[in-house]
Amino acid sequence: MVKNEKRITRKFFLREDTVRVARDLLGKLLVVPDGDGNRVSGMIVEVEAYLGVGDKAAHSYGGRRTARNEVTYGIGGKAYVFFIYGMYFQLNFVSGPSDHPHVVLIRAVEPVEGIEKMRMRRGKMNDHNLTSGPGKLCIALAVDRDLNGADLTSHKIWIEEYRKISDEEIAVGKRIGIDYAGEDADRPWRFWVRDSKFVSKMQKPAR
């Protein structure tokens, strides 16, 4: 078990610099307890920032506001969970003040606690494949639509301090799967831990 629990407060998510929030999430511990209250957790090793109204890759680009993305217009520190490809959920963290629909997509975590539970949920496979992608980690941590809008300081899902990641350990590059976003597809808003075996997709870092 992880000792000396130190939860992240809402103040962390209220910053308007979502790119900085994304970067700072690397090394933090994502905890989603199971139905019996047992901790199931993973260290965040890969994220992407989506900058709202002005970002062609964001669900809220151009001020788009729907029932699905409504939570992104709320106060920072909430979970934004959506279904994609008719198959997978994806977990995002809302960042900034209200009416500032910026989010950080959690692309990969490195399992820390409840690994047997993750294996059971994901089926028999190499451990490196348990949580190495946004859909995979949602299955492993049992993240689904029920957590959409959940407070990231609640008992359902929360973030803790875990490991300090230095600038030298962080790789920066383009976000994945957004070729439709024009010039925004080239924004260096994806961050990952260089030496982690759980990163979803390796690419040549921009820096």
- What distance in Å separates the CA atoms of residue 21 and residue 189, rounded to the nearest whole number? 11
pLDDT in tens, 119-141: 999 997 788 899 999 999 999 99
Per-residue pLDDT at 154:
96
Per-residue pLDDT at 203:
65
Q: What is the mean pLDDT of each run of 10 residues along the chain (207 residues)?
A: 74 97 99 96 98 95 96 98 91 98 98 96 87 97 98 97 97 93 94 96 65
Per-residue pLDDT at 127:
87
For residues 28 and 159, the answer to whether their CB atoms sit within 8 Å is yes
Per-residue pLDDT at 1:
47
| CATH of the domain spanning 10-193 | 3.10.300.10
pTM of the model: 0.94
* Tokens matching residue 61: 């680009």
pLDDT in tens, 27-59: 999 999 999 999 999 999 999 999 999 999 999
Query: What are the boundaries of each domain within the chain?
Result: 10-193
For residues 96 and 81, the answer to whether their CB atoms sit within 8 Å is no
Strands 190-193 and 170-173: antiparallel
- What distance in Å separates the CA atoms of residue 80 and residue 67, rounded to the nearest whole number? 12
